[in-house]
Amino acid sequence: MANGTSTGGSGSTLTDGQFSFEGGVHSDSNRVIASPLMPSGVPRNALSWAINVTMRGGGAGQRTGWEPLVQGAPWGASSYMGGILYEPDFGDPRLLLVIAGQVWEVRVDTTNAVRNLSAAFGHASRPITQHAFLTQAEMFAVIQWGDEVTNPFFYDAGVPGDPTRPELLRPSQGFIGVNNAANELPPASPMDYWANRAWYAFGRRYCAGDIAGSTATGTAAYDYRDSVLHCTENPFSKGGDGFSVPTVAGSIRALSHTSHLDTALGQSPLFVFTRRSVYACEAPVTRADWIAADRSHIPLQKLALAKGGAYSDRAIVPVNSDLFFQSPPNGDIRSVAVSVRNDRDWGNVPLSRNVNRALAFNDRSLLRGATGIEFDNRLLQSALPVLTPAGIGHKALVALNFDLISTLEERRPPAWEGVIDTDTLGLHVLQLFEGDFGGRSRAFAVAWSTLRHAIEVWEITSDTRFDGSLVGGLSTNRVTWQVETPSYNAGLPLVLKELVGAELWFDKVLGTAVVEVWYRPDGTGCWIAWKAFDVCAARDCSEHPLNPCEPDGYPLDPLCEIDAIPIALPRPPSGRCSPGSRPLTPTASGRPSTWCFSAQVKLVIKGWCRLRGVVVHFEPRVKRPYEGLVRGNPLSTRLGGDNT
């Protein structure tokens, strides 16, 4: 909304506000709304900050709900080591979780049943470390224990009814000896399945196993795809050696790749992430060239990013032909494509300044446990890591909305939507997962419950309005969300004004939403309560205020979301919060907090609705030149001048 002035009665009213929030949050900007005098302010289609909010559709609304899938599982409060959303040859994905050296299966594709695979097959590992590395190579889930000593485990769900493809969980034979034809994948840390090979890293070195479909090491029962478990082709892998990154780069933190349509196989280089740098490896793709690769014919390894490596393998997220990841110093979000494109610029900057208000508080010593996914056309990355009895958890997620570029019309850049506060759910996220279930994308969070003191599995939905499971057809677990607007000044930043009222527009109201309105003048440090009220709409006929129906055991037809008429707020209470409003002398009175040059509004809402617009009203006040300035010694006093 453009600011303006309206005249009514004996005085004039100055108005300011906005009806669009698709620009996301700008916590790095000056809180004052952008103007010619403040070009670095918050854009007129953006917010200063948001918690549990999405800005899709132009308004600012509540995030979708989270639902518990697994609670009270027999793994209890053991240490969480890692997991993977495993995709069998037949059927939908299911979760494989490694907890205290035990491998567990969670059937998120059906009944959410939990099964201890280690107990069923008699294979478990001593949990030497707290971080296991998992990837999937063909039909096999490969579990590396992270100590670079213990041989990895292989899991295959098998083919029901086929005795030649039974379900299995077994340890690798590992590296038996130089040039031994029985060598299998050795102990390692980060892994990736790229160019039909299982790549693995140990320290500063990395290498790969045999190519999928090799009849030399594969078997007919697996259509020779089980050859990916072996290491017999390349001289480096046969010798237990590998390619290496420079010493100054440090140990390898992650291996990853993404799509790249400029190559014959549609795959990008293999990106090798250390904490300081990122390298791109162009390895041979054919079996013959791979066998010939030795110290005299080392694959081409290029320095892709000289500064800004990755903290965690779990936080590297492929999005189309790009990779997003958390990097130093504070878990800042970077993109490989954007960083490479801007490599000639002086500043190698991250993409997450908008959410520095959260990332600045990250504990760097815990960022090795960072996690992220792309779900519902959003990038979700963990934030605010803490130590839990189960390992490194996270109290929040930051969200980057890609919906703004999903159009054939003029595209706008993606927008940061602030943070998702999982701490209010009593959850500290250990790891995020996303997968395709028959064409439907689903996302899951394995989290430590601070309420039940156990590891739980929750689903992040894309369509529900409330948290928790449905009880009797309805859920009463309303989400609390919060928006902080820019500081409005009616286009007159140098004019003293009195805040006299506001109007709020809501739509998509369903159920009861409790709204608290706060304000603060001129960016002072504390908020002043303004007004609290409810907006409500029946969710079905049982909640109809005039003619409620009787629940009779049949499903109740849901009622539609409604719009709320513009809600007018009265003149806010006057208080003294800012040190600048204190009296200058014992007999003088301070300036009321409603008198300001700009005013910021905060809404704390519990319940489902969407904010469509905010308008604030001011009345101009007269301020004499130099009024309210604190008198101090002149500069000449410090320079030895006359103190008069």
**Adjacent-strand bridge partners of 516:** 532, 604
Task: Output the six-digit token pair for 393.
Answer: 């958890």
pLDDT tens for each residue of 616-642: 999 998 766 555 554 444 444 444 444
Residues 605, 362, 400: CA angle, nearest 5 degrees: 55
Residue 398 pLDDT > 50, yes or no? yes
One domain, residues 385 and 534? no
Residue 9 pLDDT > 60, yes or no? no
One domain, residues 423 and 378? yes
CA dist 420 and 151 (Å) reads: 38
Rounded to the nearest angstrom, the gap between the alpha carbon of residue 139 and the centroid of all alpha carbons in its chain is 29
Within-domain flag for 558: yes
- Would you give the DSSP letter of residue 355? G
Residues 147, 152, 156: CA angle, nearest 5 degrees: 150
The most confident of the ranges 82-91, 548-557, 590-599 is 82-91
One domain, residues 511 and 535? yes
**pLDDT confidence of residue 303:** 83
CA dist 497 and 521 (Å) reads: 10
**Domain total of the chain:** 2
**Adjacent-strand bridge partners of 506:** 564, 611
One domain, residues 579 and 615? yes
- Supply the DSSP string of 214-231, one letter for each residue: -TTT--GGGTTGGGGGB-
pLDDT tens for each residue of 314-330: 999 999 888 999 999 89
Within-domain flag for 111: no
* Beta-strand runs (E) in 80-180: 80-86, 94-99, 102-106, 114-116, 133-137, 140-144, 153-156, 168-171
Whether residue 397 contacts residue 381, with contact meaning beta carbons closer than 8 Å, is answered with yes
CA dist 509 and 562 (Å) reads: 5
Whether residue 70 contacts residue 457, with contact meaning beta carbons closer than 8 Å, is answered with yes
Amino acid at 143: I
Last residue of one domain, picked from the residues 413, 443, 476:
476
Whether residue 461 contacts residue 475, with contact meaning beta carbons closer than 8 Å, is answered with no
**Adjacent-strand bridge partners of 254:** 273
* Closest to 595 measured CA to CA, from 487, 500, 490: 500
One domain, residues 597 and 490? yes
Within-domain flag for 433: yes
Last residue of one domain, picked from the residues 420, 448, 476:
476
Last residue of one domain, picked from the residues 451, 476, 501:
476
CA dist 431 and 445 (Å) reads: 6
pLDDT bin (cut points 50, 70, 90) of residue 550 is low
Whether residue 290 contacts residue 306, with contact meaning beta carbons closer than 8 Å, is answered with no
pLDDT bin (cut points 50, 70, 90) of residue 587 is very low
Which stretch of DSSP H or E encloses residue 339? helix 336-341
Q: What is the CA radius of gyration of the chain?
A: 29
- Domain residues for 381? 356-476
Within-domain flag for 602: yes
One domain, residues 625 and 491? yes
pLDDT tens for each residue of 182-233: 889 999 999 999 988 999 998 988 888 999 999 989 999 999 999 999 988 8
